[in-house]
Amino acid sequence: GQQVMQIPQYQHVQEGEDFTTYCNSSTTLSNIQWYKQRPGGHPVFLIQLVKSGEVKKQKRLTFQFGEAKKNSSLHITATQTTDVGTYFCAAWFLSGNTPLVFGKGTRLSVIA
Amino acid sequence: DVKVTQSSRYLVKRTGEKVFLECVQDMDHENMFWYRQDPGLGLRLIYFSYDVKMKEKGDIPEGYSVSREKKERFSLILESASTNQTSMYLCASRAGRDYGYTFGSGTRLTVV
């Protein structure tokens, strides 16, 4: 089946360092969404990207959708301990009301 | 805010028992989903529903069934619980294709 590959699986950073997670597909994506799951919590919707080359920002978080709509990234500038958690990308491959396909997530640890 | 409520946070059941996991959303969402989350495997779709009395199989429906008699309620049923169904179960809903998922807090099910 269709899938999205997310890398890295784990990332440990010192507080203040930057962090990036990548989401890749061999097939063109329709839309992509990003979610954050805090330890012991549930995934929470962050953002949706729709257009080729789209860039969106939320404070220290920058989300990007590739020109070919086959990849996406989430970049966090100057990480803080509150950024700890697992970040998931989730994508649609087809038009229509299909379920999202989730990546396996990147677990971020921030060392104070 | 949309609320997705899962009836139990923790549940312990015996092998062979019939188990009901309940999920209720309060925002009149058409679409509802059941996922299980296991370490290293990410979020895997069990079943989903786009309307009352409608259900579709996801990626791992074996051993599960669902019921959606009312729009706000989507129940996951383990017909005969087995130890390999020990997992975190997450319910989600969304208003439509261009919207993010809202997840419930999850039910951690242990089958002994």
Q: What is the pLDDT of residues B30-77, one digit of tens each?
A: 999 999 999 989 999 999 999 998 899 999 999 999 999 999 999 999
Residue type, B61: P
CB count within 10 Å of CB A103 equals 26
Percentage above 90 pLDDT, chain A: 88
Residues of B in contact with A104 (CB under 8 A): 40-42
- Kindly tell me if the per-residue pLDDT of A22 is higher than 80: yes
Contact B81, B97 (CB under 8 A): no
Distance from the B46 Cα atom to the nearest Cα atom in chain A, whole angstroms: 11
pLDDT tens per residue, range A57-85? 999 999 999 999 999 999 999 999 999 99
CB contact under 8 A, B105 and A42: yes
> Looking at CA atoms only, how far is residue A22 from chain B in angstroms?
15
3-state secondary structure (DSSP) of residue A82: helix
Q: Is the CB of A48 inside 8 Å of chain B's CB atoms?
A: yes
The reported pLDDT for the residue numbered B66 is 97
> Which tens digit of pLDDT belongs to each residue from B16-33?
999 999 999 998 999 999
The pLDDT-based confidence of A111 (bands split at 50, 70, 90) is: very high
Q: Please, are residues A5 and A103 in contact by the beta-carbon 8 Å criterion?
A: yes
Termini Cα distance of chain A: 40
- Cα radius of gyration rounded to whole Å, chain A: 14
**Which of A45, A97, A103 comes nearest B102 by C-beta?**
A45
| E-assigned strand segments in chain A | 5-7, 10-14, 19-24, 31-37, 44-49, 55-58, 61-65, 71-76, 85-92, 101-102, 106-111
In this structure, is the dihedral angle defined by the CA atoms of residues A108, A110, B3 and B7, taken in order, positive or negative?
positive
